Amino acid sequence: MSSRRHGMKAVVVVVVIAHVLLCHVAGGGGGVPAVIVFGDSTADTGNNNFIQTMARGNYPPYGRDFAGGVATGRFSNGRLAADFVSEALGLPPAVPPYLDPSHSIHQLASGVSFASAGTGLDNITAQILSAMTLSQQIDHFRQYKEKLRWAKGEAAAHHIISQALYILSVGTSDFLHNYLVFPIRGNRFTLPRYEAYLAGAAAGAVRAVHGLGGRRVKLAGLPPLGCLPVERTINPDRPGDCNEMYNMVALSFNARLKRLIGRLNWELPGAQVEYVDQYSILSAIIAKPWEYGFGNSMQGCCGTGFVETGILCALDDALACDDADKYVFFDAVHPSERAYKIIADAFINTTSPVFH
Ligand X SMILES: *[C@@H]1O[C@H](CO)[C@@H](O)[C@H](O)[C@H]1NC(C)=O
Contacting positions for ligand X (CB under 6 A)? 123, 133, 135, 201, 281, 342, 345-346, 349
Q: What is the torsion angle, in degrees rounded to the nearest 10, for the CA atoms of residue 188, residue 193, residue 199 and residue 201? A: -30
Rounded Cα–Cα distance for residues 104 and 262 (Å): 37
CB of 183 to ligand X, least distance (A): 19
CB of 309 to ligand X, least distance (A): 25
**C-alpha 87, offset from chain centre:** 14
CB of 316 to ligand X, least distance (A): 32
**Residue among 244 and 345 whose Cβ is closer to ligand X:** 345
CB of 338 to ligand X, least distance (A): 12
Query: Contact at 8 Å (CB) between 131 and 118?
Result: yes
**Residue among 180 and 346 whose Cβ is closer to ligand X:** 346
Rounded Cα–Cα distance for residues 44 and 75 (Å): 8
41 is catalytic: yes
Rounded Cα–Cα distance for residues 276 and 266 (Å): 18
CB of 30 to ligand X, least distance (A): 16
323 is catalytic: no
Nearest CA to 297 among 312, 281, 314, 315? Answer: 281
Task: Choose, from 41, 86, 173, 297, the residue flagged as catalytic.
Answer: 41
Instruction: Say if residue 31 is exposed, middle or buried (CB neighbours under 10 Å; 0-12, 13-18, 19+).
Output: middle
Query: Contact at 8 Å (CB) between 344 and 84?
Result: yes
Rounded Cα–Cα distance for residues 256 and 116 (Å): 24
**Residue among 123 and 352 whose Cβ is closer to ligand X:** 123
**Residue among 131 and 342 whose Cβ is closer to ligand X:** 342
Nearest CA to 43 among 120, 145, 144? Answer: 120
Rounded Cα–Cα distance for residues 209 and 138 (Å): 7
Task: Choose, from 177, 297, 334, 336, the residue flagged as catalytic.
Answer: 334
CB of 127 to ligand X, least distance (A): 10
CB of 88 to ligand X, least distance (A): 10
**Residue among 88 and 117 whose Cβ is closer to ligand X:** 88
What is the side-by-side strand order in the sheet with 165-169?
Answer: 111-113, 35-39, 165-169, 216-220, 272-276
**Residue among 53 and 163 whose Cβ is closer to ligand X:** 53
**Residue among 317 and 345 whose Cβ is closer to ligand X:** 345
User: In terms of DSSP H, where are the helices of the chain?
Assistant: 2-26, 81-88, 105-108, 123-128, 134-152, 154-163, 172-175, 191-211, 229-233, 244-267, 278-287, 311-315, 337-350
Task: Choose, from 44, 100, 122, 331, the residue flagged as catalytic.
Answer: 331
Residues forming the active site: 41, 331, 334
